[in-house]
Amino acid sequence: MIIRLSAAALTVASAFPAMALAAGTDQPTVTVTATRQAQRADEAIADTTVIDRESIERAGPSFSLPELLARQPGIQMSSNGGPGKATDISIRGTNSKHTLFLVDGMRLGSATLGTAAWQDVPLSQIERIEIVRGPASALYGADAIGGVIQVITKKGSGEPKINAFVGVGSYGTREVSAGVAGGTEQLSYSARGGYSQTESFSAQNRKLSTYNADNDLYRNGNFSGNFAWRPAAGHELGGSVLYAESRSMYDSGRSYNNYNNAAQSAWNLYSRNRFTDIWTSTVRFGQSIDDYENFASYAPTGATIKTTQNQFMWQHDVRLPIGSLLAAYENLHQKATNEGTFDVSRSVNSFLLGWTAGIGAHKLQLNARHDDNSQYGGKTTGYAGYGYQILPTLRIQGSVGSAFRAPTFNELYYPGFGNPDLKAENAYNKEIGLLWEQGGHNLSATYYRNRISNLIANDQNFIPRNVANAKLEGVTLGYGGQLAGFDLTASLDFLDPKDADTGKRLQRRANKFANLSISRRIQALTLGVEWRGSGDRYDRANEIRPLGGYGVLNAYAKYALNQEWAVEGRMNNLLDKQYETAYGYNTPGANVFFGVRYAPK
């Protein structure tokens, strides 16, 4: 498992897929999300985590993307039931609307709800995940107040190889996926398809009046593809696509089988050209769609909500005598259709500049960005970060940065409840951290303080207004390394997430949460255990409806039969802990999953 924890927050932005290829297992991990330019993960000023493919496979189909994210430092998750149900991701105490989600550099999510359908993006299509914590608008623009999570789909290289996986588990869970990948110096490609289904369990319990005792099924069909063509040295044309279609049953009444159909897609084409020894130009165009259709007892004919985002980027990377320059232009066109309610769109033109440099023991980064939104005008954000290598094994880093969130189309225009006069939410973050690395061990400690103003909240008539403020202050501690032959990763978070006006804790945020993973490889056998713990929370604002703390223990095993075949197994929630991440919604009890993987080396 490759997880690098560095010590201070940084602005972030997408990079075209070709730059996101990880190095070999004997080389440092390369990340692109934290700087918009390829760099070693252990050199980033950002508070960054990289989840590699081995760790994703270890999670297994019995895990979802939100559950895997919730095992990372600084991240909490709440879900309205089991697999496929609406899920919120909180980074450093911010809400789910404050996290920007990217797939191969493309924004993906709903412009009406302001959140992403994390639960519908399959782990089987992901090569790796890059997480950067902290305000990020100085490179990414709107919505990156808490941070950025980027999914990078599978790429191909080497001799053509077919890979496949099939597995079954508790709750009638089953998954099958297969793909082919390969490449040469001139051409690389990858294609993969998959299907998963679970009979699951009842999304709600008897605490809610809409409880229905039936099992709430979830199924997901998905596909991804990538290609890259290099006609000459320094020149590359390529693209990628991800598509996932799902159906999820849910509870909203006792006498109707409520369900929704959803489709998530993202594609892009890019051209990277190194015109001189110091100048590389990257042009990328693409589109993402979040399409949602709901069938409920109150809308038996179905209601459709669709977000389409067209994105264009032209980025220039210039090597200077000292450091490197980043200059880019972006255009984002968002269109949202809520059937029978509204059909609206907006356009954002953005210009950004950045400079990064390493001068001896010093690391510096400066970024500025201006976004011109057709709805509410201009917004300028900035970032400044500095790191100093005190000793060969110890460095200190710090940063300041601003960010903002654009109001959603629902908040602006929903008939009877929208407020077209809403302003953007604003955030200002300061942090400092220490990172110690020696002999395969790394320890990190990060302190941050994020102030958010003009928060959008509903008044007594459920009309959204800029009336709230929040103060998010916390410390994240992390460790990764080997002890007595065991691979060990651990994190511990202390968080004080408050409504700055009332002094009350923000809803569904714990003051303390932690993760621990221990594994060991014994020849062909790998064994491991994981533990995730959370303190108490409140389900509603103003500290209403307390939710108890919990700890969940998992175990996994993998046995390599040979260089091509392996059998895998997981046991989740070994102690059958009964807990809630959202009031009245169930979580899985003790469950198992077994699978067979064919993956030639």
Query: Residues 439-459: pLDDT tens digits?
Result: 889 999 999 999 999 999 887
What pLDDT does 62 receive? 61
| Both structure tokens of 337 | 């259709």
pLDDT digits (tens, 9 = 90+) for 366-412: 999 999 999 878 999 999 999 999 999 999 999 999 999 999 999 99
pLDDT digits (tens, 9 = 90+) for 527-546: 999 999 999 999 998 899 99
User: Residue 60: is its pLDDT beyond 70?
Assistant: no
> What percent of the chain is modeled with pLDDT above 70?
93
Band (121; pLDDT cuts 50, 70, 90): very high
pLDDT digits (tens, 9 = 90+) for 292-302: 998 876 655 56
Long-range pairs for 550-556 at CB < 8 Å and ≥24 separation? 550/577, 550/579, 551/577, 552/577, 552/579, 553/529, 553/577, 554/529, 554/530, 555/527, 555/528, 555/529, 555/530, 556/58, 556/60, 556/527, 556/528, 556/529, 556/530
Residue 270, CA distances (Å) to 18, 195, 267, 307, 320 in order: 9, 29, 10, 23, 24
User: Residue 38: is its pLDDT beyond 60?
Assistant: yes
What pLDDT does 393 receive? 95
Nearest Cα residue to 560 out of 501, 505, 601, 509 = 601
Domains and CATH numbers, the chain: 17-598 (2.40.170.20)
pLDDT digits (tens, 9 = 90+) for 559-594: 999 999 999 999 999 999 999 999 999 999 999 999
Beta pairing, strands 342-359 & 362-373: antiparallel
Q: Mean of the pLDDT values across residues 184-200? A: 95
| Both structure tokens of 181 | 């990948």
**Whole-prediction pTM:** 0.92
User: Residue 23: is its pLDDT beyond 90?
Assistant: no
pLDDT digits (tens, 9 = 90+) for 129-184: 999 999 999 999 999 999 999 999 988 888 999 999 999 999 999 999 999 999 99
Higher-pLDDT residue of 552, 210:
552
Mean pLDDT of the chain: 90
Q: How far apart are CA 563 and CA 542, in angstroms?
A: 56
| Both structure tokens of 1 | 């498992």
Q: Alpha-carbon dihedral of residues 52, 56, 58, 61, nearest 10 degrees?
A: -170
User: Residue 20: is its pLDDT beyond 60?
Assistant: no
Which residues are registered as beta bridge partners of 534?
A: 513, 550
Higher-pLDDT residue of 61, 241:
241
Which residues are registered as beta bridge partners of 44?
A: none
pLDDT digits (tens, 9 = 90+) for 244-254: 999 999 887 77
DSSP-assigned letter for residue 204: B
What pLDDT does 61 receive? 60
Q: Mean of the pLDDT values across residues 103-112? A: 94
What pLDDT does 13 receive? 31
pLDDT digits (tens, 9 = 90+) for 225-238: 999 999 999 999 99
Q: How far apart are CA 323 and CA 195, in angstroms?
A: 46
Backbone phi, then psi, for 516, in 5-degree steps? Answer: -145, 135
Query: How would you class 106 by CB atoms within 10 Å of its CB: exposed for 0-12, middle for 13-18, buried for 19 or more?
Result: buried
Band (363; pLDDT cuts 50, 70, 90): very high
DSSP-assigned letter for residue 585: B
